[in-house]
């Protein structure tokens, strides 16, 4: 008899997720395994699209994306998840002390935030 592993419903614990934008495959697998929505994954996917794989700093670009979109409200919980070589996984949880007013923010997204999200196909065609 095969026992299905228990996976907590992380969406009940956190309003926002900042997952290391190390590549499309990583994001696809975490979206599936953590049962997250496209909305939850949008900051990570848009960071990967605009800035590429910036390693651990992508977590801060992702948080800035959510702030620029006006998504961060007082009391919201943000889970930042980073990965390293081998089996390294680090995370931090933040609680917003105040709502973020995008009109008062200065961050890397403010000059282009109205153009996001963009459509990023799940599967890119292979051209040879």
Supply the CATH number for residue 92's domain: 3.40.47.10
Q: For the whole model, what pTM was predicted?
A: 0.89
Q: Could you give the CA distance from residue 6 to residue 73 in angstroms, rounded to a whole number? A: 30
Residue 116 belongs to some domain of the structure: no
pLDDT, tens digit only, all 128 positions of the chain: 899 888 899 999 999 999 998 899 889 999 999 999 999 999 999 999 999 998 888 999 999 999 999 999 999 999 999 988 778 889 999 999 999 999 998 999 999 999 999 998 776 666 77
As for how many domains the chain has, the answer is 1
CB atoms within 10 A of CB 91: 13
Judge contact between 73 and 96, C-beta under 8 A: yes
Domain that residue 98 falls in: 10-109
Question: If 0-12 CB within 10 Å is exposed, 13-18 middle and 19+ buried, where does residue 85 land?
Answer: exposed
Residue 88 forms part of a structural domain: yes
């Amino acid at each position: 008899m095969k026992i299905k592993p228990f996976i907590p419903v992380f969406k009940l614990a956190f309003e926002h997720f900042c997952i290391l934008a190390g590549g499309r495959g990583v994001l696809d697998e975490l979206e599936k395994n953590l049962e997250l929505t496209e909305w939850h994954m949008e900051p990570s996917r848009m960071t990967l699209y605009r800035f590429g794989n910036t390693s651990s700093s992508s977590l801060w670009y992702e948080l800035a994306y959510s702030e620029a979109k006006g998504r961060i409200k007082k009391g919201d919980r943000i889970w930042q998840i980073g990965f390293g070589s081998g089996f390294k996984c680090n995370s931090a949880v933040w609680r917003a002390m105040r709502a973020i007013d995008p009109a008062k923010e200065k961050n890397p997204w403010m000059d282009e935030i109205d153009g996001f999200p963009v459509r990023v196909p799940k599967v890119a065609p292979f051209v040879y």
